[in-house]
Structure 1
Amino acid sequence: MGPVLDVVLSAGFLAAILRVSTPYVLAALGGLLAERAGVPNIALEGSMLAAACTGALVAGYSGSVAAGAVCGIAAGALLTLLLGVLHLYLGADAIIAGIGLNLLASGVTAYAVYALLGDKGGTSRLHSGALPEVRLPLIEDIPGLGTVVSGQNLMTWLALAAAPAVAWLLHRTRFGFHLRAVGEFPDAARSVGIPVRRVQFATLALSGALAGGAGVFLSMGAVSFFVTGMTAGRGYIALAAVFLGALRPWGVFLAALGFGAAEALAVQLGNLSIPSQLVSAIPYALTLLALAFFAWRRRRPARPTSPVSGVAADPATN
């Protein structure tokens, strides 16, 4: 137990949580926006995969990390917009269409890498480069704090900034008001002149861009190359964070950090004498437990309250 506590309480572990949580935070916030607009974005996994592959390939061939990041984020947005076309215009079920797009992205990215590089595993032979790390000259000299925050990847800082930005967008802007109205009462929103489909498509583009940022981090931040299937279910875990966070920006952010902490713990425990099968199952087991808790909380009946005192009444006395 001692070595495990030493790992969990170390500054390096806190830094790892921020780093590992980056794709979860970005993808989950993207899923939150789409869900609040009334279009479940099940294609988060596919958007991340498409962005990771596109970013690495473009950066490798162009020699520009910035161009790779921009093209990767655009690829994530385009795939999510395709979900909007299938669901909003062609009437396809959003969940089925999203799963289909995830499978499409998995196949297309693997084929693209093989067709361009002749490698079925990834783009390791292509020098793609990585997004820069952000150094904080004054803070990095502070013991503990410097280890945690200084030297984090640029996408990690963007993920940390995305949470307050999404909260501000949803609750402090006119577009956010329209977005929430469209997701909750689309007919009422349409009756007062809100362009429902335009708002939904704009939200899906933003959702896909955030998921694309998560994918770009995987192939150009955590490492500097693309590996076939490297998202490894993170898009689905991000969806779990959306609902575990009760569809609220800060709740989703904290849920995503929790899943990131589970993965970071699994990585750290892999260095100890613990069975690797048990360690690798930690993030997925936590996801199942979180979804079970969410389902239990949703189905738990509310206790009746007394009309006089407002205190929950005992059912046995009624």
Structure 2
Amino acid sequence: MSAVLDVVLSSAFLAAVLRVSTPYLLAAFGGLVAERAGVSNIALEGQMLSAACTGALVAGYSGSVALGALCGVGVATLLGLLLAALRLELGADVIIAGIGLNLLASGGTAYAVFTLLDDKGGTSGLKSGSLPAVPLPGIDSIPLLGDVISGQNMVTWLAFLTAPVIAWLFYRARFGFHLRAVGEMPDAAASVGIPVRRVQYTGLALSGALAGLAGVFLSMGYVSFFVRDMTAGRGFIALAAVFLGGLRPWGVFLAALGFGAAEALAVQLGTLDVPPQLVSTIPYAMTLVALAVYAWRRRRQAGVEVAASV
């Protein structure tokens, strides 16, 4: 037990929480934007995976990390627009469409890597480079604090800055008011002149871009190569964080941070004498517990509302 406490209270663990939480935060905020637009983005997993693969391949062949990151985010944005078109123009079921895009991304990325590199596993043989870390002069010499926050990847800083930006967007910007109105009452929003389709397309594009940035971080920040199906369910866990956070920016932030802490704990415990099978289940077990808590809260709230109406 003392060994576990030593791990949890160490600066290495706290730094790992920030790093591991990055893709969860970005993907969760992407899911939140889509949900507020009235279209659930079930394709977060596929968007992250496509961005991770595209970023690593483009950066490797072009020699430009920035170009790889931009192309990765761009591909995920296009997938967000494709999901919007399938739902809004063709009337496809958003769950089925999202699952279809996830399967397309899984198979498509594996095919692209094998075709270009003749490797079924990933792009480890291709030098794609990494997005830069951000040292903080003056802070890096402070005990504990410097070890935790100085030297974090630039995408990690962007992920944590996304929380106040999304909060401002939702509650201070005109687009945020339109987005929430469209998601809650599209007919009422249309009656007062809000372009419902345009807002939903914009919301799904922004959702895809955030998920794409999360994917780019996985292959160009967390590590410096792409591995087949490297998202490992993070998109679905991020979607769980959206609902666990009550569809509110800061609630989603805390939920995603909690999932990141669970994964970081699993990674750190892997260095101790703990069965690896048990360690690997920690993030997914926490997801199930979180969803159970969310369902219980919803049922309790519904019971209170029914009692109040009697």
Give the whole-Å Cα distance in 1 for the aligned partners of 2:111 and 2:170.
Answer: 38
Give the whole-Å Cα distance in 2 for the aligned partners of 1:34 and 1:175.
Answer: 13
- Report the secondary structure of 2:291's partner residue: helix
Which letter maps to 1:50?
S
1:58-92 deviation digits (Å, cap 9, x = unpaired)? 00000000000000011111111111111110000
- Report the secondary structure of 1:271's partner residue: coil
**Per-residue deviation, 1:306:** 9.1
Equivalent in the alignment of 1:80: 80
1:127-157 deviation digits (Å, cap 9, x = unpaired)? 0000000000111110010011000001000
Equivalent in the alignment of 1:314: none
Which letter maps to 1:143?
P
Give the whole-Å Cα distance in 1 for the aligned partners of 2:113 and 2:2.
Answer: 44
Equivalence map 1:270-309=2 (5 Å): 270-300=270-300, 301-302=303-304
Equivalent in the alignment of 1:104: 104
- Report the secondary structure of 2:140's partner residue: helix
1:255-303 deviation digits (Å, cap 9, x = unpaired)? 0000000000000000000100000000000000100110011011217
- Report the secondary structure of 1:143's partner residue: coil
Equivalence map 1:148-187=2 (5 Å): 148-187=148-187
Give the whole-Å Cα distance in 1 for the aligned partners of 2:11 and 2:31.
Answer: 30
Q: What TM-score, normalized to structure 2?
A: 0.98
- Count, aligned residues: 308
- Report the secondary structure of 1:208's partner residue: helix
With over 3 angstroms needed to count, the CA separation of the structure-2 counterparts of 1:306 and 1:162, relative to structure 1, is: closer
Which letter maps to 1:302?
V
**Per-residue deviation, 1:15:** 0.6
- Report the secondary structure of 1:52's partner residue: helix
Q: What TM-score, normalized to structure 1?
A: 0.95
Equivalent in the alignment of 1:199: 199
Which letter maps to 2:229?
G
Give the whole-Å Cα distance in 1 for the aligned partners of 2:122 and 2:23.
Answer: 19
Equivalence map 1:138-153=2 (5 Å): 138-153=138-153
Give the whole-Å Cα distance in 2 for the aligned partners of 1:119 and 1:306.
Answer: 61
**Per-residue deviation, 1:12:** 1.2
1:92-120 deviation digits (Å, cap 9, x = unpaired)? 00111001100000000000000000000
Give the whole-Å Cα distance in 2 for the aligned partners of 1:122 and 1:304.
Answer: 53
Structure 1 unaligned residues grouped into runs of 5+: 308-317
1:20-56 deviation digits (Å, cap 9, x = unpaired)? 0000000000000000010000000000000000000
Give the whole-Å Cα distance in 2 for the aligned partners of 1:66 and 1:245.
Answer: 32
Which letter maps to 1:66?
A
Equivalent in the alignment of 1:313: none
Give the whole-Å Cα distance in 2 for the aligned partners of 1:101 and 1:272.
Answer: 38
